[in-house]
Amino acid sequence: MNFAAIFQYAPNLVSGALVTLRITLVAAALGLVIGLGLALARLARVRLLSWIAYAYIELFRTTPPLVQIVWFYFVVPVLTGHELSSFQAAALALGLNEAAFLAEIMRAGIQGVSTTQRDAARVLGLTTFDTYRFVILPQAFRIILPPAATTLMLLVKTTALASAIGTLELMRVGQLVTTATFRPIEVLTTVALAYFLLTYPIAIGARALERSFRVGQG
Amino acid sequence: MSGRAEIARQPSTSMRAASPEADPGRDGLLTLRAVCKRFGALPVLTDISLSVARGEVVVVIGPSGSGKSTLLRCVALLEPIQRGSIAIEGTLISRGQDEPGAAVPASAVRQLRHEIGMVFQSFNLFPHLTVLENVMLAPRRVRGLSRQNAETVARTLLDQVGILDKAAEHPARLSGGQQQRAAIARALAMEPRIMLFDEVTSALDPELVGEVLRVMRALAGQGMTMLTVTHEMGFARQVADRVIFMDHGRIVEEAHPDELFTDPRQQRTRDFLARLLEREYGADDRLEPTIAGHRGRQA
């Protein structure tokens, strides 16, 4: 192993890692916001709303993210007439995909909060919005956190698929550096380590949050 | 707007006139008229008419499945009713879904909902909030109190129920009796005109029942209007102005506790009270499974 040979490409790898991080952040933000909306829609009493959310969730859960990324990159411009950069296509596809998975996790979390909590909030006169904001969601969050952290960790690694449409993220940069140096083992090892460094903090953060809840509630 | 208010207020006069059981010296605070409630095809409440006067303490007793808890849940607007009406001080708050005419406007319900406080068998405190935050939440969000005012109110009430020292704790750190007292404080913080207690001591260890009953007795002493479902016959005897015996979703008998406990008129009431006595004194072991099953189902 000769890591010195790839050392000169360190800045490229770092910039690739930053792109990976940016795709992850945009996709995670999209996923959280849309996912919450989908989860609430799924639980709505209005049938149509619930059905649309259901259809969305299953559509995204049953198709490969690689197909989704490529589809957004090549097909969306044809349909809408708007060009998407490879970064935009990847972030959008992964964000919408993440939303489907987070929606199911959030729905389970919300349903996991006892209905007696809803009763208590209602007799106190809280509005539905306040009931969700102050009573249901904070409790659901504790249920949601571990599986949500897992999907976010998966998301970081799934961004590697953006290399297929040429986004200069960590994986794609790794491929280019490999081509330039003929050092696939060193490059892949470095890339793997970089993914670890990007992913592991999510696990640590989630664990710390979980522990802080436990301390609070004795 | 004025039209809506009229719809809500209209039945008040007729309803007041039609509640002969109300003490003429006191106003009818809560009035139920011919309330019917079904779960699917199963009737749970049949033709319940009941009036609670201001300051009156009414205790509802009856075997499990008699509809006592459902009655409270209907009054607390947690369950819709199919027939009849429920009014607070003459203002309609709930009306049978099967009846012709408009439903009670949501705005009227929202305004009156917090006039009714409810305490549950299972406490239902918010586990992620401290005791103080539990009590402060609704006054801040619903009554619009400032944080400071809400905290003053909450601390006063926690002091009143004897758990001010637990204000900063989360509910899980409290005993059942303390949690239930916190739940009472939380309900009182909304300054309700009537308090509903749904078997609030049934989930407690026997040695913790007393501290909760003491708080309830004090409340009754302060003139709080109370509609209470309980198996605590001692409490009913001492505190109730009136005891209602329910069975199979109907009011079988209602009377002053002295009268109802010593000289019940209906056979069903006598049977029920006899069973309760047997439980207290363990006269008949065969009844134990029934009571255990009853407690389990309610919990």
**What would the pLDDT profile of B209-237 be if each residue is shown by its tens digit?**
999 999 999 999 999 999 999 988 899 99
The model's confidence at residue B101, banded by pLDDT at 50, 70 and 90, is confident
Return the residue of A nearest to B75 by Cα.
Answer: A123
Strand pairing category for B83-88 and B91-95: antiparallel
Angstroms from A146 CA to nearest CA on chain B: 17
Given this model, what pLDDT does residue B100 score? 83
Is B117 close to A135, i.e. CB distance below 8 A?
no
Given this model, what pLDDT does residue A209 score? 92
Given this model, what pLDDT does residue B77 score? 93
ipTM of this predicted structure: 0.81
| Entry pTM | 0.81
Indicate if the pLDDT at residue B3 is higher than 60. no
The three-state secondary structure class of B4 is helix
Given this model, what pLDDT does residue B99 score? 86
Which run of H or E residues covers position A91? Answer: helix A86-112
Q: Quick one: CA torsion of A13, A16, A17, A18, rounded to 10 degrees? A: 130
Return the residue of A nearest to B138 by Cα.
Answer: A124
Indicate if the pLDDT at residue B145 is higher than 90. yes
Which candidate, B192, B283, B276, places its Cα nearest to that of B231?
A: B276
Residue of A113, A123, A144, A210 to mutate, interface with B, max B Cβ within 10 Å: A123
Contacts of A134 in chain B (CB under 8 A): 126, 137, 141
Is A218 close to B172, i.e. CB distance below 8 A?
yes
Contacts of A135 in chain B (CB under 8 A): 126, 137
Q: Give all domains of chain A, ordered by start, each with its CATH number.
A: 3-217 (1.10.3720.10)
B24 against A197, higher pLDDT? A197
Given this model, what pLDDT does residue B6 score? 38
Q: How far apart are CA B136 and CA B152, in angstroms?
A: 9
B12 against B238, higher pLDDT? B238
The three-state secondary structure class of B39 is strand
Given this model, what pLDDT does residue B168 score? 96
Is B77 close to A122, i.e. CB distance below 8 A?
yes
Is A123 close to B186, i.e. CB distance below 8 A?
no
Is A124 close to B138, i.e. CB distance below 8 A?
yes
Given this model, what pLDDT does residue B22 score? 40
Given this model, what pLDDT does residue A217 score? 58
Angstroms from A131 CA to nearest CA on chain B: 10
Give pLDDT tens digits for B29-85: 999 999 999 998 899 999 999 999 999 999 999 998 899 999 999 999 999 999 999
Nearest to A126 among B138, B169, B170 (CB): B138
Which run of H or E residues covers position B36? Answer: strand B28-39
Mean pLDDT of B157-162: 96
Which candidate, B124, B135, B197, B207, places its Cα nearest to that of B166?
A: B135
Angstroms from A44 CA to nearest CA on chain B: 18
Contacts of B179 in chain A (CB under 8 A): none
Which candidate, A169, A203, A178, A199, places its Cα nearest to that of A6?
A: A178
What is the SS3 assignment for B177-222? HHHHHHHHHHHHCCCCCEEEEECCCCCCCHHHHHHHHHHHHHHHHC
The model's confidence at residue A64, banded by pLDDT at 50, 70 and 90, is very high
The model's confidence at residue B103, banded by pLDDT at 50, 70 and 90, is confident
Is B138 close to A125, i.e. CB distance below 8 A?
yes
On whether any CB of chain B is under 8 Å from the CB of A120, the answer is yes
- The residues that bridge with B94 in the sheet, in sequence order, are B86
